[in-house]
Every structure is written in C-alpha cells, then in structure tokens.
Amino acid sequence: MMWFNIAKAQSFMPSQGTEIAKQVDNLYGFLLITSLIACVLVIGGMLYFVWKYKRKTPDDKTAYISHNTFLEFLWSFIPLVIFLVVFAWGWYIYHQERAMPKNALEINVVGKQWAWEVAYKNGFKAANEVVVPIEQDVKILLTSTDVIHSFFVPSFRIKQDAVPGRYTALWFRANKLGNFHIFCTEYCGTSHSGMIGTLKVVSREEFDKYLEQGQDEKSLPLAKKGAKLFAVKACSACHSADTPAIKVGPSLFQKFGKEEALEDGTKVTVDENYIRTSILEPNKQIVKGFPKGVMPTFQGQLNEDELNALVEFIKESK
Amino acid sequence: MATSSAHGDNYLNHEKGLWSWLTTVDHKRIGLMYMIAVMTFFLIGGIMALLLRLELFAPNAAANVGDILKNGDAYNQVLTYHGAIMVFMVIIPGIPAILGNFFLPLHIGAKDVAFPKINLASWYCFMIGAALAVATLFAKKIDTGWTFYTPYSIRTGTSTVLIVVGAFIMGMSSILTGLNFIVTVHKLRAPGMTMHRMPLFVWALYSTAIIQMLATPIVGITLLLLAVERAFGVGIFDPALGGDPVLFQHFFWFYSHPAVYIMIIPAMGVVSELITTFSRKVIFGYTAIAYSSLGIAAVSFFVWGHHMFVSGQSATAGIVFSFLTMLVGVPTAIKMFNWVATLYKGSISFDSPMLFALGFLFLFAIGGVTGIMLATLPIDVHFHDTYFVVAHFHYVMVGGTLMSLMGGFYYWFPKMFGKMFSETLARLSFVFIFIGFNVTFFPQFILGAMGMPRRYFDYIPAYENLNKISTVGSWLILVGFLIALYTIVNGLRKGEKAPMNPWRSKTLEWQTPSPPPHDNFAVEPIVTAGPYEYR
C-alpha cells in the first residue's frame, strides 16, 4: 500500500495516537489520491480544451454536439460507484468509533466556559488535563454546565460535542505515550480559543500513581485545596491569581484587604464576605470597567468547605 | 427590434429622479437597487474579513503585527458580522436578486416579472431586515456566530433578538422573490419559449426559487422561536428551561443546507451561460444540466444532518445522512463534466467573463472533492469545525458563487448600462482575485487537517506560518476587488457605448438594445429554437 503512504506524507495530518487514527488516515489517503486524479482530469481537461480550441478567427465554426448518452451514463455511474465505496469504507470506521467497548476505563469530562473539568472514578478531579494509561480502552463521558462545547483530540481523530442537559460519549485506545492537544471545537464565547487541554498518555504504573493523589487530597491545607478548586472550577480561565494580569474578569492578585471601585460608583473593601458574595451572586457588585452577566453563579455548585477553601486561597494570593 | 433605441429611451432614463427609483416596479431597476445594496454589504463584510485575517497573522503571544482586535469578544463579534452579512446579505441574494431580477424576464422574452409590485416589496423587506441587522452594530454587538447556535445565543448578553428579527424579515424577501420567479417562469414565457428552450440560467433560478419558497419559512419560524425564548423565557432550546439545544441545529440546518444550494445553483446557471457564449458552442447535455438543478434542489432537503455528525445525533442518523450526501455529489459531478465537455471543439475566447467561468470550474472542482471528504463519516469527525471546513465552504461559496457573480456581472455589464468596460483591467482583477483566493484559502485546508479549530481568536505556534500565508492572500483579494471596482466605475463614467450584442450570444436579452427599453422588447419576441444554437 505504498501509495497510501505517499498520500499520508502529503496530508499534514497530526501524529497518529490510536489504531483508529491510522484507519482514518488510510481512508483519507485514498480520498486524496482519488480527488487528485479527479481534479487532474477535470481541470486538466479544461485547460487542454481551452488551449487546443482557442478562438482563431472571430467567425470560427464549432461542432454541434448536444449530448452523448453513453458518455453521460459513464460519468454519472463511475462517480456514484466511487462515492458509495467511500461511504461504505467510512461507515466501517465510524461504526468502530461509535461502538463503545465494554470494561472501558470511564472518565467524566464536563465542559464549562472556558475549561474542561475532569473527574475520575475514585473522586480525583483535575482541570484541563486528562491522564490515561496506554493500551487501555478509555470512555469519556461528556456533558456541559452552560453552552455546547466539543471535545477534540486531533491526534486521535475523534471529536464529540458536550451538550448541556445530556451525556454524550467517545472512546479511544491510545497506543503512543506522550502529550496530545485537546481543543474545544464548538464555539462557546469569549475564551473559546483558550479552552485547550492536554491529554497525557502514560504507563499503567504512572497512571496508578497519578490517581493516588486523590487519596491525599482530603488532608491538604485549606489554601492548597482552594488553589486546586480555583483550577478545577475554571475560575482560572477568567481570573489570574498570581499576577495582576487581567484575563476576562479582574485579577485577584493582592486584592484582599484592598478597596475596589465598583461599577455603580461605590467602593467596597475586599473581605471574606465580598469574595463569598462575588462567587455566589457575581452580578451584585461588579468591579468598575467590567461587563455584567459574564460570570455564572456558583450557587449550589460549591459546599461550605469549598467556599472556605477558595476564600482562603484568594486571601493568600499575594 | 432596434427601433426604440433610435430615440434613446431606455429603462435608465425612462423616468428620472430618486423617487422614480424608490417607487419603481421595473425588474431591471429593482435588480440595480439590489446591486447597490449588496455591493455595500459586501464592502462591510469584506472589511470584517480583512480584520479577521489581520488578527490571525500571528498568535497573540508573539504578535507585533496585526494584533488589532483587543480581545476574544471583539474577534467573535467581527467573525459573526462577517459570516452573517456575507451569507444573508451578499451570497444568498447576490445572483438571484441582482442578475436574476434583471435577466429572468429578458431571458424568457417577458416585459417584467409576474408580480412587479411584490418584487418591489421584497426589495423593501430585504432593506428593512438588513437595516435591523446592521443596526445591531450600534447596539450590543452580536457574538453568536452566523449560525446562532443555542443555548449560547439564548444566554449571551447581546442584541440577538434584533438581528434575528432582521434575518426573519430578509427571509420574507427571499420567499417573495422565489414566488415571483416561479410564477414568471410558468406564466410569462414568450410565444415559442417552451420550458426546454429556456436558458439554463432560468432553469437554475427556477430550481432555486423552489428551495427559497419551501425552506425559508423553516428558518423564519426557527429564528422566531429563538426570539420568543430569549424575550419571554419560554423553554424551547435551552436545557436550563427544559428545551433541547440540538433541536435548534436540526431546524437551522433544515433550512441552511438547502440554502447552500440557494447560493450555488444560480452560480451554476450563470456559468452555463458564460461557457456556451464564450465557446460559441451549444451546451453539452442541456437536459442533464437543467434536471440536475432540480435533482440537487430535491435532495438538498434530506442532507442537513451532515452538519451534525458529532452533535450527539444517533449513529444511524449519521450513516443515513452521509449516504444521502454522497448522492448529491452525483448531479454536481455531472454538471462539471458537462461544462468541460462543452469546451470540446469550441471556439474559446478569453474575455474576462470567461476567465471567471474557468476560474469557477477550477475552484469548484476543489470545493467539490473536499465536499465528498467531509461527507465521509470518520473524515468529518476529524475535520468538523476545523479550518478544513472553512476552506471548503469558501471554495464553494466564494470560489463558486462569488466568481460566478463577478463573471456574470462583467458579462451583462454592457447590457445593464449600455457601456463597455476596460477588458485589460477586468482581466487584471481576475488574476488578483483568483490567485489571492487560492493563497488565502488553500493553506486553510492544511491547517484544518493539522487540527486547527475554526472561530479561534488565538492559536498554537505550530499553525503560524500557514496563517501568515493566508493573511497575505487576503490582501491580494483586496487588490483584485479594488481593481474590479475601478473597472466598473471607469466603465460607467468613460466606457464606450456598448453594441446590442458585444459577445454575439444567442439568448434573448442580447436581441434587444443595450440598455434595454422600459418594456424590454419593442416587439414581443417569437422563439423558434433553443437558447444556444451556435451552428
């Protein structure tokens, strides 16, 4: 199948991280070659005729050829056959993509503006980072808390929308160690292009060690726990906490205890209660210069312990 | 038939003053009014495109050139206006409303369309809808993307209701024009002008009109439901209110896929006219081209799900939609082969309209084969919502529809205005537009294959070089259109007087003076043969 390889070298597809990716690229290689032949025939034919039958005198006589049934049948039938072959081949691969394997390692991924929240079965959570063992069927169960997002791993040639109010799923079996991009491919607003995650394929041992972090988490100091939540709940997608840089919302760096000017002209001291209110009722006291209605409420999504941890983390951001 | 031109009365000077234009029921004048509007919107949409490309010249972290849009919101707004203006206000009305209005009655030997007043009403609908849409630029700018996907469009704090109402009213214009064209084709053909003697452009407009009538109401209702949900909090599409966001996608594409054919079928019609005229040869496979337009129109209603392979719709639905999409490829391929076969043993000239027609064939071939790739399930799973899709639909919409609109415009310019333009300048505009187009959009196929998602304000460094090439291409396109604008203005001001039939074409509109008299033909033509009898 050398010609597939030639096509592949020219196809600019990303590295292949799964067996399915290889299959997709084979089909793509076939399509590239066939398309190239079709274009050479049509465009080449056009250029040849244009050159050969260039107007010579203003009154050239032309042939009167109104149709040719056999030729027309042929050029309807041959494309039809090619299209059907491509369709069936595509169906064959798509069927494998959509048939969820049994006994897969399941990971829950929640899309939210603008981060991926990743949750493992043992309760361990992470943001924007999916860690999976090599040569293991992995099923990603997707949903969203706000608008539609789409989970796309170019190296695995897979993509699935994360739709609020329901679950969707995709699966893969990585056969290559390394880090791969996760892009959001359904337009989701301000930081759509910043919603990039990493899919890390590691060995089985490394994966087990990674999950063990989950066990230690309960004994973390409050501020550390807050730092973790700050990433997992995607606060960090819009607020910086370690620099004064403004992302979507105001920076929280060195804000505690300071005065903040508000949109309605009043001033407020950043204390525990202001932070708490801003998390639970974000539109109540808007900082001057920032639009209303951008930040969603976290009412009902955080318990008291988690709120304490976040407040503590922001307190210590200095 | 040249008698009426003897005393210089034509549709341009038949009545005078702005008011005579604003109240005209002459299809030719209405066509020109559409032209002015569409050209204005094209200018706005084009400036937006240049801004987007400039912003994407480099990734934000490394940007010292082109970093002009301050943040993601600004980028998303420009992106939305570029898409919405180009789709709803340029490409959809482009050929049918400008060239169709002007030439459909002339092509079939009629004095006007069947309902001249409704024709004017549809121009006003278009302008009111467009004005509402543009007005949002001065309110809270829209950032939903031209597709208005829910629940984002329900939740974003921008003037979605206003633009959606604008699009709804523009839809009325599209429906009324479709109705008018269908009745005109059935009722107003000159004696002897049988259906099978109609020029292929008329067949294309007829097929398009059917889609406009049947599909546009769906998007109208969908957009209205969206407005109701936003304004009154009725749960239809937002899951937070108990709605289904994917339902919106079904409704939206049930219109918007056929709408793709509203954009391309008229372009195919124009190209059929150009290729026969400039090869001075009968079209190859008239019947096949005519009926494949109708075939495409029919099948176009059953392929909408190919926009939704990864939306969460069932795998079975995906398979059925992939299969049906493959079937649309067949009549499209037939047309391509017919056009190339028409060139065989012709007498081919390289006048500027023909250059655009040949450019169309070149670009549409690439747009076509990449369309088949996108119809293939697992390939689409990878390419969906990446730059590959962006490149594909620009090859079809710009490389197809816009090239054909430009070709048609140069072709009929002498008839519309009674003047000739500079052929050298027109060819030069083609060279810049054609090369610029390929430089802009071909690299985007590669970007898409590499995985770069669309609607991205920023990107990873690996995509930088190809984005740079693409941005440079957009400047070449700009130069091309500036030359085209100069060619037109110069032709209008200083062009030589155009003869009745400068290209020696056989269709009816060329058998009446340039520009045509108010009633199109001094004597009602009697048709005795097909439209392309070059013997």
- Assembly ipTM: 0.90
The DSSP code for A100 is P
Higher pLDDT, B33 or A245: B33
Considering the entire predicted model, what is its pTM?
0.89
User: CA-to-CA distance for A179 and A176, rounded, in angstroms?
Assistant: 9
Provide CB contacts within 8 A for B180, sequence distance 6+. Answer: B113, B114, B115, B118, B119, B122, B209
The answer, yes or no, to whether residue A217 has pLDDT greater than 70, is: no
Candidates B451, B473, B472; CA nearest to B463 is B451
The answer, yes or no, to whether residue A97 has pLDDT greater than 70, is: yes
Chain B residues lying within 8 Å of A72, measured CB to CB = 285, 288, 334, 337-338
Of A12, A146, A189, the CB nearest to B449: A12
DSSP helix, strand, coil percent of chain A (3-state; round to 5):
40, 20, 35
Cβ of B382 and A46 within 8 Å? no
Mutate to test the interface with B, among A94, A114, A179 (most CBs of B within 10 A): A94
Of A28, A154, A291, the CB nearest to B451: A154
Provide CB contacts within 8 A for B287, sequence distance 6+. Answer: A67, B196
**In whole angstroms, how far apart are CA A130 and each of A116, A154, B312?**
9, 15, 21
In chain B, count of helices (H) and strands (E)? 19, 0
Confidence (pLDDT) at B170: 94
Chain segment B407-445, per-residue pLDDT in tens: 999 999 999 999 999 999 999 999 999 999 999 999 999
Residues of chain B with pLDDT under 70: 1-7, 61-67
DSSP helix, strand, coil percent of chain B (3-state; round to 5):
70, 0, 25
The answer, yes or no, to whether residue A218 has pLDDT greater than 80, is: no
Cβ of B285 and A67 within 8 Å? yes
Cβ of B315 and A98 within 8 Å? yes
Q: Across the beta sheet with A168-173, what order do the strands follow?
A: A125-127, A115-119, A105-112, A137-144, A168-173
DSSP string, B204-243: HHHHHHHHHHHHHHHHHHHHHHHHHHHHH---SS-GGGT-
Chain segment A159-189, per-residue pLDDT in tens: 999 999 889 999 999 999 999 999 999 999 9
Cβ of B381 and A163 within 8 Å? no
Residue type, B470: S
Contact B134, B170 (CB under 8 A): no
Contact B453, A186 (CB under 8 A): no
Confidence (pLDDT) at A216: 66
Chain A residues lying within 8 Å of B373, measured CB to CB = 28, 31, 35
Return the residue of B nearest to A89 by Cα: B376
Provide CB contacts within 8 A for B253, sequence distance 6+. Answer: B304, B305, B307, B308
Mutate to test the interface with B, among A193, A199, A247, A294 (most CBs of B within 10 A): A193
How far A16 CA sits from the closest chain B CA (Å)? 11
Chain segment B237-263, per-residue pLDDT in tens: 988 888 899 999 999 999 999 999 999
Name residues 159-198 of chain A within 8 A of B (Cβ): 159-161, 163-166, 168, 181, 183-194, 196
Q: Please list the residues that pair with A149 across neighbouring strands.
A: A162
How far A68 CA sits from the closest chain B CA (Å)? 8
Chain B residues lying within 8 Å of A98, measured CB to CB = 315, 318
Residue B192, Cα to own-chain centre: how many angstroms? 31
Q: Please list the residues that pair with A287 across neighbouring strands.
A: A262
Name residues 83-112 of chain A within 8 A of B (Cβ): 83-84, 86-87, 89-91, 93-95, 97-98
The DSSP code for A157 is T
The answer, yes or no, to whether residue A211 has pLDDT greater than 90, is: no
Return the residue of B nearest to A43 by Cα: B362
Provide CB contacts within 8 A for B530, sequence distance 6+. Answer: B196, B197, B282, B286
What's the whole-number mean pLDDT along residues A291-316? 82
Contact B212, B121 (CB under 8 A): no
User: CA-to-CA distance for B441 and B429, rounded, in angstroms?
Assistant: 18
Q: What percent of chain A has pLDDT over 70?
A: 95
User: CA-to-CA distance for B123 and B119, rounded, in angstroms?
Assistant: 7
User: CA-to-CA distance for A168 and B314, rounded, in angstroms?
Assistant: 10
Cβ of A84 and B326 within 8 Å? yes
Confidence (pLDDT) at A8: 53
Chain segment A15-26, per-residue pLDDT in tens: 899 999 999 999
Two structure tokens written together for B77:
């707004």
Return the residue of A nearest to B359 by Cα: A43
Return the residue of B nearest to A40 by Cα: B365
> A–B: how many Cβ contacts below 8 A?
260
CA torsion sign for B387, B389, B392, B398 is negative
Confidence (pLDDT) at A282: 86
Residue type, B401: T
